Amino acid sequence: QVQLVESGGGLVQAGGSLRLSCVASGRTVSIITTAWFRQAPGKEREFVAHIRRTTGNTYYTDSVKGRFTISRDNAKNTVYLQMSSLKPEDTAVYYCAAALNSRLGVSPGEYNYWGQGTQVTVSS
């Protein structure tokens, strides 16, 4: 079992920055990929970015490239999402997810564990 706890969400003005954290506990050595997803009201859950635990390789959805950076600190079992140049359309609940298998990593169905989510609100 793996437990994930997100933090760092909040209210920020457009153009501002936030850093989200995802702390994993339990069988963390079994995690292959950690991702951030987001879900806005009335919309489906959307892939944002992921990072491979051993290689550190990253992948982003096009809408956040150049603005968001995903990183990891394996010693702390923590994955971060640094968000800059935030836009009102980034407003959503952001979820951390962990996958035990190595796949493409952009579909929610590929992930085995989820955090409870943290709200990010960007005002215009």
How does pLDDT run across 6-34, given as a tens digit for each residue? 999 999 999 999 999 999 999 999 999 99
Q: What per-residue confidence (pLDDT) applies to 80?
A: 98
Mean pLDDT of 49-60: 96
Q: Tell me how far CA of residue 57 lies from CA of 14, 51, 102, in angstroms.
A: 29, 6, 12
Q: What per-residue confidence (pLDDT) applies to 55?
A: 93
Q: What per-residue confidence (pLDDT) applies to 102?
A: 77
* Tens digits of residue pLDDT in 62-111: 999 999 999 999 999 999 999 999 999 999 999 999 999 878 889 999 99
49: DSSP letter: E
